[in-house]
Homo-oligomer: A and B are copies of this chain.
Amino acid sequence: MLKNDLLLRTLKRETTERTPVWMMRQAGRYLPEYIKLREKYSFFERVQNPQLTCEITIQPIDIIGVDAAILFSDILVVPQAMGLEVQLIESKGPFLPEPVKTKNDLKRICVPNVHETLGYVFDAIKLIKQELNGRVPLIGFAGAPWTILCYMVQGKGSKTFDEAKAFCYTQPGLAHQLLQMITDTTIAYLKEQVKAGADAIQIFDSWGGLLSKYDFENISLKYIRQIVTALKDEVPVIIFAKGAWYSLKEMSETGAACLGIDWCIEPQMARKFSGDKISLQGNFDPAKLLSPIPEIKKEVMQMLNAFGKGKHIANLGHGILPNVPVDHAKAFVNTVKEFEIKP
Contact = CB atoms under 8 A, between A and B. Distances in A.
Given A160-B286, A169-B290, A212-B263, 8 more contacts: A160-B287, A162-B287, A166-B287, A166-B290, A212-B264, A212-B266, A243-B264, A246-B266
26 contacts: A159-B159, A160-B286, A160-B287, A160-B318, A160-B321, A162-B290, A162-B321, A162-B323, A165-B285, A165-B290, A166-B290, A166-B291, A169-B288, A169-B291, A170-B292, A210-B264, A211-B264, A212-B266, A213-B264, A213-B266, A215-B285, A243-B264, A245-B245, A246-B265, A246-B266, A246-B269
Contact of A212 (B162, B285, B291): B285
B287 A165 contact: yes
A209 interface: yes
A160 B317 CA distance: 12
A295 B264 contact: no
Top 6 closest pairs, chain A to chain B, by CB: A165-B287, A166-B290, A169-B291, A162-B287, A212-B263, A162-B321
A161 B260 CA distance: 22
A170 B243 contact: no
Interface of A: 159-160, 162, 165-166, 169-170, 209-213, 215, 243, 245-246, 263-266, 269, 285-288, 290-292, 295, 318, 321, 323
A246 B318 CA distance: 18
A162 B269 contact: no
A157 B212 CA distance: 24
A287 B243 contact: no
A264 B246 contact: yes
B169 A287 contact: yes
Nearest to A215: B285
Contact of A170 (B159, B210, B212, B291): B291
Nearest to A321: B162
A305 to B, nearest CB: 13
A264 B269 CA distance: 16
Nearest to A266: B213
Contacts of A288: 165, 169
A13 to B, nearest CB: 26
Contacts of A246: 264-266, 269
Given A212-B285, A264-B212, A290 B170 contact: yes
Among A170, A215, A264, find the residue whose CB has the most chain B CB atoms closer than 10 A. A264
Contacts of A211: 264
A121 to B, nearest CB: 27
A291 B286 CA distance: 36
A295 B160 CA distance: 20
Contacts of A170: 290-292
Contacts of A213: 264, 266
B159 A286 contact: no
A264 B262 CA distance: 15
Nearest to A265: B246
